[in-house]
Amino acid sequence: MTGIVKVVLLKKDLQNIPVNSVLVAPQTTPEFTPRLKNVSAIITDEGGVLCHAAIISRELHKPCIIGTKVATQVLKDGDLVEVDANVGVVKILKRS
C-alpha cells in the first residue's frame, strides 16, 4: 500500500488529515478514531498488539505498523511511502 505521509503530533492536527493519507503519530487515542476511518495506513512510534492503533486498525482493516520508536522523526509530511504491514516495513519512495 502506498500513500502520502501526514504526521500528527498535536490534537489540533487531527482536523487536517487528508483522506487516504498514511497517518504517522507517536500513538493514537480514542480521539483519533473518527479520523482513522479515512486514512490508508497507520504508523506509530509506540504501542503493542493491544494498543489503540492496533485494535482500531484490525477493526477497520487498515495496515498498521506500531512501536517503530522513530517514525515521527524519520517520516515527514508529504513523503510518499510504501507500507507493508505484513512484514513491518515502511519504504520511503520519495521525500517531500
Catalytically annotated residues: 52
Q: Note whether 47 and 53 are within 8 A (CB).
A: yes
**Residue 75, number of CB atoms within 10 A of its CB:** 21
Phi/psi at 84 (5° precision): -120, 90
